[in-house]
């Protein structure tokens, strides 16, 4: 009578909630930093609001819906709702972003747009000014299908002390974590890869990290 | 002011455990990246939720946590509740100073562990900033840091507290404001008797000699300040060593080398690093008074000039390197290079022109074939005019040598005068126009992380290269023999192939410009000798790779090898019945000796064994061939080396009346083949392993 969609088979209620409700989470990497990860193709940048509709809330003197960044296939576009500059030029309506683009929101929020990995559409927004997200994160990741954490400079999150890369990726609307060696996800040991939720704690050889779903608060 | 925080009474039979941290490492993110007891999301201490681990301090783990209301804090877990240590922190709990990291509270969790709740700083520490300046910061930036550190330490001393663990990993910058952290914890010494196990605490690089005797006056902070200042100015600590014992021994006995520093830094650091505590500055303010004020700094709270900000995340997660927007050092007495080289104007001009030429050549966006054609054309022109150029060069070189000799005798004091001149060309890795500096009005951040500008690296070629060479050398030394052998075989094969190709090119050049057809047997001779010569360079160089060795000894060994090569060349020519075309083909040959030495040439002017031995022996003695095979050389194929080889070959040929063009051709073939065939590490890849 009830037929579950294939992607939902074998999930607990918790997982289901985890998979559905969150389109963004905090990625806390021990000894490295905290990262604001957005899964959606369209993210709004703006001042934090009470209802939490902003995808990337930045504590700054900007509008609550200041700009929108859209992942369009392989490329990124920024749509200016309020005053936005890219590489010093005022954005009328839309502008394309490429690795190294410098975004200015309003008066003083300066972001650097990076796409460090050639094979992944995932992008990173670094804060070049002193503004931070609310709650605070070191950088914002606009995660497409995969997100590479590792020692190389082409990683989305550079973890210099690590020996191996750890890759978070999406498959059938699920989040997975993959690495070369064994890893422990929420106390369960996996070989090579395992499914994670947005509230998982992952430990492996020489690294540990936690995810924390960001609720609309 | 008497020290109040007494940590551990010195006791004869206590053994102390120290660790040697690499000064370049940022200690804040602990090196074993993982292994934190509490995962993100746990709440061992009521009221705070741990988000992630930050690093491992001397006593335990440090976490980033949020209070229930959302306040960002750093939590330091102290596993062993030693009254002494806790008393130390309690003393500091209510200290208020803009240059001190705030301590909020000391709490105990349900399990009896003690937590120190303190200010969280998302920016990097001084160790990270130092990593951006491997050769030392600009003086002004170092001063700005130093004034902030000193203000914080002075406040501690004023309250009778000795920091004891001043080091770059404990000094932070928050929005340009210098903050000294980790005070009040007596972490210098941990006694094995008490802890029962070895614990890695502190680093010995900043430790005053009297600490070994258990004396902890505030003089140890002055000493550490001196070391930190030294490190900021030069990029390295004064006492380095492989082991804890070696560093300790240097602290106790060695004199710091301050000769590379300008006044007043030299005398200030020398005094701060006196072995006898009584000889050092008595107070921090006395030390501060001896140093100039940093420019662009609002009085009072010592802020750094803009551009100190790294993207947060300790280990450079966000990837934005700091260290931009530097102010050009306003003090004429900036830092000078460690080795002030006597620079003679003519040589300097020539070197500068040459390096400009090299830059232009490297920057010129020419495809490789065009470059090679150009190169060949230049060689052709040189060879055609060799008859004029070689004597001219020799005369110029002799005149220049005489001039240098006279100059050295006339200007014995030159070197000293020179030191102060170098100040304004001190190596500032971030020589940016100073427009970004408006500490008060404008927001104090560098707009965007600066891109790496290759031109900046070229402005200071010598020193940087040398230091990099020193840093990269260990990697070569530890190269396993097997890998070395494989590399050698590979380069031998490549060398043979390249030598064959080079010979074709050179023969074509020769026959073009001398309209002299080279016979196949002569070509065969050329190829064989070139291959043998290439191998004669590659093999010993492989053995010498990564070590320094005595130059004269190496030259001698090379000379012997070169003579062997000469014998091979003679044997080959005898076997193939081929002789270098000495008979009249080269009327314009330049001879330094009035006539050829006896026994060198037969009646037809063909060189005999002795001539070969002399020529190749001196060619191999005069050139430092191993540098052309060094994996750490500047570029893979250095035209300068090839050119130098040609000149040396011309001189040698001229001296021994050997058929010059013939010797030059062989030398060029060897030089080019060696450089193309031997492995080369591009500068970018040299330090990937060593965290730089």
Question: What pLDDT is attached to residue B387?
Answer: 73
For residue B386, is pLDDT > 70? yes
Neighboring chain A residues of B53 at a CB cutoff of 8 Å: 30-31, 208
Q: Is B41 on the interface with A (CB under 8 A)?
A: yes
SS3 B144: helix
Categorize the per-residue pLDDT at A21 as very low, low, confident or very high, splitting at 50, 70 and 90: low
Q: How many CA atoms lie within 13 A of B324 on its CB side?
A: 20
**H helices of B212-275, where?**
219-234, 244-253, 265-272
Neighboring chain A residues of B450 at a CB cutoff of 8 Å: none
Question: What pLDDT is attached to residue B320?
Answer: 33
Average pLDDT over residues B554-582: 84
Question: What pLDDT is attached to residue A99?
Answer: 92
Q: How many Å from the N-terminal Cα to the C-terminal Cα in chain B?
A: 41
Please tell me the distance from the alpha carbon of residue B12 to that of residue B365, in angstroms, as a whole number.
69
User: Tokens representing B74?
Assistant: 């750093």
Phi then psi for residue B185, to 5 deg, are -100, 120
The answer to whether B605 and B656 have CB atoms below 8 angstroms apart is no
Judged by CB atoms closer than 8 Å, whether chains meet at B317 and A33 is answered as yes
Judged by CB atoms closer than 8 Å, whether chains meet at B54 and A31 is answered as yes
For residue B106, is pLDDT > 70? yes
Categorize the per-residue pLDDT at B461 as very low, low, confident or very high, splitting at 50, 70 and 90: very low
Q: Is B369 on the interface with A (CB under 8 A)?
A: no
Is residue B456 within a helix (H) or strand (E), and if so which, with residue range? helix B454-458
Better pLDDT: B102 or B10: B102
Closest residue in chain A to residue B40, using alpha carbons only: A210
pLDDT tens digits along A116-164 = 988 889 999 999 888 888 888 999 999 998 999 999 889 999 988 888 8
Percent of chain B with pLDDT over 70: 68
Please tell me the distance from the alpha carbon of residue B479 to that of residue B500, in angstroms, as a whole number.
30
CATH code reported for the domain at A25-211: 2.60.200.20
Q: Is A128 on the interface with B (CB under 8 A)?
A: yes
Q: How many Å from the N-terminal Cα to the C-terminal Cα in chain A?
A: 36
Neighbours of B255 (CB within 10 A): 12
Q: Which of B117-121, B185-189, B409-413, B542-546 has the highest mean pLDDT?
A: B117-121
Better pLDDT: B344 or B626: B626
Beta bridge partners of B681: none
Q: Is A17 on the interface with B (CB under 8 A)?
A: no
Judged by CB atoms closer than 8 Å, whether chains meet at A136 and B72 is answered as yes
pLDDT tens digits along B481-518 = 778 888 888 888 888 888 888 888 888 877 777 666 67
Better pLDDT: B588 or B182: B182
CA-closest candidate to residue B675, choices B649, B639, B648: B639
Q: Is B196 on the interface with A (CB under 8 A)?
A: no
Judged by CB atoms closer than 8 Å, whether chains meet at A203 and B39 is answered as yes
Please tell me the distance from the alpha carbon of residue B563 to that of residue A185, in angstroms, as a whole number.
68
Average pLDDT over residues B131-157: 89
Question: What pLDDT is attached to residue B63?
Answer: 92
The answer to whether A139 and B311 have CB atoms below 8 angstroms apart is yes
Neighboring chain A residues of B312 at a CB cutoff of 8 Å: 33, 127, 138-139
The CA angle B685-B687-B690, to the nearest 5 degrees, is 145
Phi then psi for residue B548, to 5 deg, are -95, -55
pLDDT tens digits along B265-279 = 889 999 999 988 888
For residue B420, is pLDDT > 50? no
Closest residue in chain B to residue A211, using alpha carbons only: B40
Judged by CB atoms closer than 8 Å, whether chains meet at B315 and A31 is answered as yes
Categorize the per-residue pLDDT at A4 as very low, low, confident or very high, splitting at 50, 70 and 90: low
- Give residue limits of the domains in chain B: 477-685
Average pLDDT over residues B670-681: 87
**What does the CA dihedral B18, B20, B21, B24 come to, rounded to 10 degrees?**
150
Sign of CA dihedral B22, B24, B29, B35: negative
Question: What pLDDT is attached to residue A38?
Answer: 93
For residue B322, is pLDDT > 60? no
For residue B471, is pLDDT > 60? no
User: Tokens representing B590?
Assistant: 């330049």
Question: What pLDDT is attached to residue B309?
Answer: 40
pLDDT tens digits along B56-71 = 766 678 899 999 998 9
Average pLDDT over residues B98-114: 87
Average per-residue pLDDT for chain B:
72
Average pLDDT over residues B3-32: 38
Closest residue in chain A to residue B53, using alpha carbons only: A30
Judged by CB atoms closer than 8 Å, whether chains meet at A31 and B33 is answered as yes
The answer to whether A160 and B310 have CB atoms below 8 angstroms apart is no
Complete edge-to-edge strand list for the sheet that includes strand B72-78: B48-56, B61-67, B72-78, B114-119, B103-108
CA-closest candidate to residue A48, choices A143, A135, A142: A135
Q: Which of A70-79, B588-597, B649-658, B682-691 has the highest mean pLDDT?
A: A70-79
CA-closest candidate to residue B16, choices B206, B163, B204: B204
User: Tokens representing B361?
Assistant: 């050549």
Question: What pLDDT is attached to residue A112?
Answer: 95
Better pLDDT: B145 or B112: B145
Categorize the per-residue pLDDT at B149 as very low, low, confident or very high, splitting at 50, 70 and 90: very high
Q: Is B51 on the interface with A (CB under 8 A)?
A: yes
Q: Which of B144-158, B289-303, B390-404, B591-605 has the highest mean pLDDT?
A: B144-158
The answer to whether A125 and A56 have CB atoms below 8 angstroms apart is yes
What is the Cα A108 distance to its own chain's centre?
Answer: 23
Nearest CB among B33, B52, B318 relative to A126 is that of: B318
Average pLDDT over residues B602-621: 84
User: Tokens representing B368?
Assistant: 């490789």
User: Tokens representing B38?
Assistant: 């509490």
Categorize the per-residue pLDDT at A216 as very low, low, confident or very high, splitting at 50, 70 and 90: low
Q: Looking at this predicted complex, what is its ipTM? A: 0.78
Q: Is B311 on the interface with A (CB under 8 A)?
A: yes
For residue B225, is pLDDT > 90? yes
For residue A84, is pLDDT > 90? yes
The answer to whether B389 and B590 have CB atoms below 8 angstroms apart is no
Range in A103-107, B142-146, B365-369 the model is least confident about: B365-369
Is residue B529 within a helix (H) or strand (E), and if so which, with residue range? helix B520-544
Better pLDDT: B533 or B328: B533
For residue B245, is pLDDT > 50? yes
Q: How many CA atoms lie within 13 A of B485 on its CB side?
A: 3
Question: What pLDDT is attached to residue B313?
Answer: 36
Better pLDDT: B680 or B685: B680
Sort B564 into a burial class: Cβ within 10 Å, 0-12 / 13-18 / 19+.
middle
């Amino acid at each position: 009578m009830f037929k579950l969609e294939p992607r939902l088979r074998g999930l607990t209620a918790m997982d289901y909630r985890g998979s559905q409700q969150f389109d963004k989470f905090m990625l806390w990497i021990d000894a490295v930093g905290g990262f604001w990860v957005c899964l959606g193709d369209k993210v709004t940048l703006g001042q934090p609001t009470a209802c939490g509709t902003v995808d990337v809330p930045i504590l700054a003197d900007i509008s609550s819906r200041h700009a929108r960044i859209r992942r369009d296939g392989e490329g990124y576009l920024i749509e200016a709702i309020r005053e936005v500059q890219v590489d010093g030029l005022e954005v009328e309506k839309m502008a394309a972003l490429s690795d190294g683009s410098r975004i200015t929101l309003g008066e003083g929020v300066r972001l650097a747009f990076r796409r460090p990995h050639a094979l992944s559409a995932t992008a990173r927004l670094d804060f070049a000014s002193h503004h931070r997200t609310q709650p605070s994160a070191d950088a914002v990741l606009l995660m497409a299908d995969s997100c590479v954490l590792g020692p190389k400079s082409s990683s989305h999150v550079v973890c210099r002390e690590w020996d191996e890369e750890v890759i978070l990726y999406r498959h059938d609307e699920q989040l997975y974590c993959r690495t070369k060696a064994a890893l422990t996800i929420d106390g369960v040991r996996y070989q090579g890869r395992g499914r994670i939720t947005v509230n998982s704690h992952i430990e492996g050889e020489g690294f540990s990290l936690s995810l924390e779903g960001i609720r609309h608060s | 002011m008497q020290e109040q925080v007494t940590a551990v009474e010195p006791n004869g039979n206590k053994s102390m455990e120290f660790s040697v941290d690499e000064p370049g490492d940022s200690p804040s993110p602990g090196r074993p990246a993982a292994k934190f007891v509490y995962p993100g999301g746990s709440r061992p201490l009521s009221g705070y939720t741990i988000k992630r681990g930050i690093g491992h301090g001397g006593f335990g783990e440090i976490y980033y946590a949020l209070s229930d209301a959302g306040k960002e804090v750093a939590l330091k877990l102290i596993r062993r509740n030693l009254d002494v240590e806790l008393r130390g922190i309690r003393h500091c709990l209510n200290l208020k100073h803009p240059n001190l990291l705030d301590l909020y509270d000391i709490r105990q969790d349900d399990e009896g562990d003690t937590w120190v709740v303190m200010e969280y700083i998302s920016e990097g520490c001084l160790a990270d900033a130092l990593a951006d300046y491997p050769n030392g910061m600009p003086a002004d930036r170092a001063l700005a840091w130093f004034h902030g550190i000193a203000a914080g330490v002075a406040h501690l001393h004023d309250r009778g507290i000795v920091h004891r663990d001043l080091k770059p990993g404990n000094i932070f910058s928050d929005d340009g404001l210098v903050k000294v952290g980790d005070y009040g914890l007596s972490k210098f010494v941990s006694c094995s008797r008490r802890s029962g196990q070895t614990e890695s605490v502190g680093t010995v690089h900043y430790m005053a000699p009297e600490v070994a005797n258990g004396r902890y006056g505030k003089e140890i902070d002055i000493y550490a300040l001196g070391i930190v200042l030294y490190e900021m100015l030069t990029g390295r600590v004064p006492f380095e060593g492989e082991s804890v014992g070696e560093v300790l021994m240097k602290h106790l006995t060695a004199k710091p080398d301050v000769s590379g520093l300008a006044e007043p830094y030299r005398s200030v650091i020398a005094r701060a690093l006196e072995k006898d505590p009584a000889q050092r500055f008595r107070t921090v303010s006395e030390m501060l008074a001896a140093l100039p004020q940093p420019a662009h700094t609002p009085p009072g709270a010592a802020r750094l000039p803009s551009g100190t900000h790294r993207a947060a995340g300790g280990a450079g997660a966000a990837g934005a390197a700091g260290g931009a927007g530097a102010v050009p050092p306003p003090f004429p007495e900036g830092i000078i290079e460690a080795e002030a080289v006597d620079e003679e104007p003519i040589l300097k001009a020539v070197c500068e022109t040459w390096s400009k030429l090299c830059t232009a050549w490297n920057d010129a966006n020419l495809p490789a074939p065009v470059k090679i054609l150009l190169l060949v054309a230049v060689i052709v022109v040189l060879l055609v005019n060799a008859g004029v150029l070689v004597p001219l060069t020799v005369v110029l070189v002799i005149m220049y040598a005489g001039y240098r000799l006279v100059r050295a005798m006339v200007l014995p004091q030159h070197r000293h005068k020179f030191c102060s001149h170098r100040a304004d060309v001190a190596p500032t890795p971030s020589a940016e126009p100073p427009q970004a500096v408006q500490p008060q009005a404008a927001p104090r951040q560098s707009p965007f992380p600066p891109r790496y500008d290759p031109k900046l690296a070229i402005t200071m070629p010598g020193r940087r290269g040398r230091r990099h060479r020193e840093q990269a050398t260990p990697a070569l030394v530890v190269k396993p023999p097997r890998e070395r052998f494989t590399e050698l075989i590979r380069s031998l094969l490549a060398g043979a192939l390249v030598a064959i190709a080079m010979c074709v090119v050179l023969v074509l050049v020769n026959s073009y410009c001398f309209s002299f057809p080279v016979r196949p047997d002569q070509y065969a001779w050329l190829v064989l000798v070139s291959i043998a010569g290439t191998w004669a360079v590659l093999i010993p160089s492989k053995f010498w790779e990564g070590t320094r060795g005595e130059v004269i000894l190496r030259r001698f060994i090379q000379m012997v090898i070169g003579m062997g090569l000469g014998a091979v060349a003679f044997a080959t020519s005898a076997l193939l019945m081929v002789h270098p075309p000495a008979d009249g083909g080269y009327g314009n040959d330049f001879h330094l000796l009035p006539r050829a030495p006896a026994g060198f040439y037969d009646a037809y002017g063909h060189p005999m064994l002795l001539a070969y031995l002399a020529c190749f022996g001196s060619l191999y003695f005069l050139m430092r061939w191993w540098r052309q095979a060094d994996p750490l050389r500047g570029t893979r194929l250095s035209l300068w080396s090839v050119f130098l080889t040609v000149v040396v070959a011309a001189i040698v040929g001229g001296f021994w009346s050997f058929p010059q063009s013939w010797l030059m051709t062989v030398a060029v073939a060897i030089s080019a083949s060696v450089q193309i065939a031997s492995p080369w590490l591009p500068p970018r890849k040299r330090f990937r392993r060593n965290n730089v």
